[in-house]
Structure 1
Amino acid sequence: MYRGKDTKNKYLFNVDIMVEGYSNGIALESLLHSLNQEKFLDYEVKSGIELGQLIRSVLTEVSLKDQIHDNRDEASKEQAVSSDQQNDQKEAATRKINSLRADHNASKKKAALTADNQRLSQLKHSEDKISLSFLGVLDSYKTNNTLVRLTILKGKGIKISIPCRILNYEEATDSLTVYHVDEKIVYQFRLTEVDDLSVNA
């Protein structure tokens, strides 16, 4: 059966990506930012997230101590009771421990998710502050008609250095429009292509 050229299919790839960063959270933020910049229909980060580990370890220690204490209490009670009552108490204790484990696991997951969400929110907030200050600098250069030098990263590691003046920045498309003062041509770049921005003296 022939498929037309206009028919698009969907494909699923499993990929391991190594991202460099000062911490797992910053590397995760960088990865998510990069994935959101591309035209992917959807993605799922299956492993590598190390947020909330301290909370998990503390909750595990508390859970183990509680279980040991509960087991000691149950053992001392069982010694004083007949064998029929011991069986009944063992079953009740098992149900109680299973119930406590289920409650503990649910609260542990909730606490881990809350901590992860708070950390991601803090990272997003700090990214927004950096973004706002950078946008202020761009607006200042645009308003003052300042001559700047942009270093642009093109495909395959190629860098281009451009003496230019900033004409416009569109936040919706993340694009920067500049006027090349030597070539007298207007260029438009995505902000992700900008490697360096310096003021020409």
Structure 2
Amino acid sequence: MKQQPEAQNTTSFIFKLEVMLSDTHHTTALEQLIKKLNEANFADYRIESGIQLGVLMEQTKQLNPDIVPVPITSLEEKIVPNGNYSEITEPSNIFTKVNRYMNDNTLIRLVLNKGLGIKKSIPCRVLRMDEELQLITVYHVDEKQVYTFHLYEIEDIIA
């Protein structure tokens, strides 16, 4: 993928989304997706996973034509994992704790909820955090990769 020079006074944004493609095989659907992403000239992208749409989901949609779409929650409306409102009422406490881990270069384990029942537990070190956007960037010590997570994805921080 080609690198695009950033214009002066621009900010980068990362969006997480799901895309459904129909094709005869998952490899041709993936090829179709990659082609479209490359044509869009995004600065970068990552395809993390793929699933095959089940028959049950399609039947449910057909049997319920009056399905009301759910609005996308904005960043202003803080999403609360597992109904734990104490984290949202005191986000500075979380960032104070994470800031200490970052400054001490402490090895921590993040327990993440990636949605759809998918949970991950990763050993990492905190590299950076953005309190305004509620983002935490970490270095995964096993995979030797850098990842950025939203605060609402983190279920637990174990030091």
> What's the TM-score, normalizing by structure 1?
0.37
Q: Which has the larger radius of gyration?
A: 1
Q: Which has the higher strand share?
A: 2
Q: Which has the higher helix share?
A: 1
> What's the TM-score, normalizing by structure 2?
0.46
